Amino acid sequence: MLDISKIYENSAFELASELHMYIGLNMKRTAFDFEKGKSKAVPRNPDKGKGTLRVITGDLYRSFTPKKISMGNIFVAKTTGNNFQFQYGSNLPYAAIHEFGGIAGNGAKIPKRPYLKPAIKEWKTERLPTFKKELKLQVIREMKAWLVNQKQLKK
């Protein structure tokens, strides 16, 4: 039986890795003031506009790393029978409030500072066509290898 599940699982990892990079591009790193021992305000990322999320500790950014190496990470890519399951994101309690805005647990009004939606949009524009081609080529290569193997088994 032809099994392309590993291709899907590897492609999901590549997709998540690329999205992680795009997410980082939609955040602005703050500067650290060593004398005061805390982050200091920096201007918003001029390339991304006023609503750019600032990175202070990096926990939110790291929570999108596509492996179970950081707190808050969601990454599942597995095949069971004919079903492929893919989940990617962050389950940190403040991940959604930064993306969509709202009232925080302490009552503070948090403005909308999307980082995931713009990352997905940029990835679709810049990488999706190539990603699809690469995925098709991997499946074709796997099918050819399977056919060669079947011919060798019949000899």
Which amino acid would we find at residue 39?
A: S
What pLDDT, on a 0 to 100 scale, did the predictor assign at position 34?
55
Quickly tell me which residue has 């810049």 as its tokens.
126
Could you tell me the two tokens for 142? 């796997």
Q: Over 70: is that where the pLDDT of 72 sits?
A: yes
Of 22-36, 39-53, 72-86, 105-119, the least confident:
39-53
CB 68 within 8 A of CB 60: no
Question: Is pLDDT at 74 greater than 80 in this prediction?
Answer: yes
**What pLDDT sits at residue 91?**
92
Q: Which two tokens stand for residue 97?
A: 């409030």
**Cα-based distances in Å from 122 to 21, 23, 52, 125:** 11, 10, 15, 5
pLDDT for residue 85:
92
Per DSSP, 134 falls in state H
Domain that holds residue 95: 5-116+123-154
Looking up tokens 């991304």, which residue turns up? 48
pLDDT tens digits, one per residue of 2-57: 788 889 999 999 999 999 999 988 887 655 555 665 555 555 544 555 567 878 78
Strands 27-29 and 53-55: parallel
How many domains are contained in the chain?
1
Distance CA 78, CA 134 (A): 19
